[in-house]
Amino acid sequence: MISQKSAQAVAKQGVKAQVVSRQRVVRCHAVAAAERPPTVKAQGPIVMNGQVLHSISQERLELVQTLGPYMESQVLPLLRDPTKSWQPSDFLPESSDPDFLDKVRELRTRTQQLPDDYLVVFVGDMITEEALPTYMAMLNTLDGVRDETGAAPTPWGRWTREWTAEENRHGDLMNKYMYLTGRVNMHAIEVTIQNLIGSGMDPKTENNPYLGFVYTSFQERATKISHGNTARHALEHGDEVLAKICGSIASDEGRHEQAYQRIMDAVYEKDPNGATLAFADMMRKQIVMPAHLMDDGEHHGKTGRNLFADFSSVAEKTGTYTAMDYADIMEHLNKRWRVAERSDLTGEACEAADYLVKMPDRIRKLAERSNARKQKNKGQTSPFAWVFDRPVELV
């Protein structure tokens, strides 16, 4: 039971929240009506093949370029010394050991308990990790932070290369482990990886570091959640080694999440209006997953459906990554960047804050309706080339 005193405190908090919300809306509309044109002319945007490019203003570009010392003190320390980091070989049978084949047999016996839906989700995550060249290229499209030479000693250049180096271990380890299990069709997986890297990705970040670092702040947390859940599921299926692998990768993603969110912390500190507008812009576009263009060259022809959509359905069904997780991530970022509490927003940014605060609950309601509709197709399956065309439940 809640005490009378606690109830009164909760009521006061509710009233206070309503007042703050109303004040924000009133201030928002008042400032928007009187808003003057920006004093700094934007460099863009440029539109090419229907895509917006270089949308950041000169003023905001210069702001980003002042963040070098902050990167040095607050972001680069999150990286790990390679000599002290885990490496893929730490989790795999040592090929030079006399009992290597015995250890591989033990691994294969252990992984026989992994169901096909788990394998599909793990492989989809692995393919996502293996498309790392695309993600490094994406970071190097961002104005003001790209590695201009390929070996630039700037904090931004160092971050991009060393982040990539840490991430490289993930796909490397996952790929080798799956190969040793004998449970998956490596050729079909390799075709998918090559196709995905060749296709690239379109996160709609417009060469704009504000948008780019909102995207990575969200995406790294999503990846952490997915790997954390594959760790939990591996343990449930009796593979402790695979659970440790997924847990170690999730831990890396957690550090990387913190790094990108710290960058946006600094942007919010210096330019709360611009940061809020960028956050809202990316959420209106929706955060696309890095592997949204995956294609194995077979799936659509066999099923008439999109491979990434079917992989996502299996991830949703198994509880590995869901629409509810998407809403939770957005709510987390709202709290971290104090979107609902800010009194330093004006004009469009104030309206954007209201949109951001309301969106998580809207997403949850849409997800509930979608799940209710999916029940009509309960038991629907699809073959996946990754598991030798064995049928896997989508709903």
d(Cα 285, Cα 272) in Å, to the nearest integer?
A: 20
Per-residue pLDDT of the chain (395 residues; tens, 9 = 90+): 444 444 444 344 544 545 445 555 455 554 444 443 343 344 556 888 778 899 999 999 999 999 999 999 999 999 999 999 999 999 999 999 999 999 999 999 999 999 999 999 999 999 999 999 999 999 999 999 999 999 999 999 999 999 999 999 999 999 999 999 999 999 999 999 999 999 999 999 999 999 999 999 999 999 999 999 999 999 999 999 999 999 999 999 999 999 999 999 999 999 999 999 999 999 999 999 999 999 999 999 999 999 999 999 999 999 999 999 999 999 999 999 999 999 999 999 999 999 999 999 999 999 999 999 988 889 999 999 999 999 999 99
* Residues with catalytic roles: 86, 129, 167, 170, 220, 223, 252-253, 256
Q: Evaluate whether 276 touches 339 at the Cβ level (below 8 Å).
A: yes
Residue 12 φ then ψ, to 5°: -60, -40
Residue 75 DSSP symbol: I
- Say how far apart CA 24 and CA 211 lie, in whole Å: 24
Element (H, E) at 220: helix 209-236
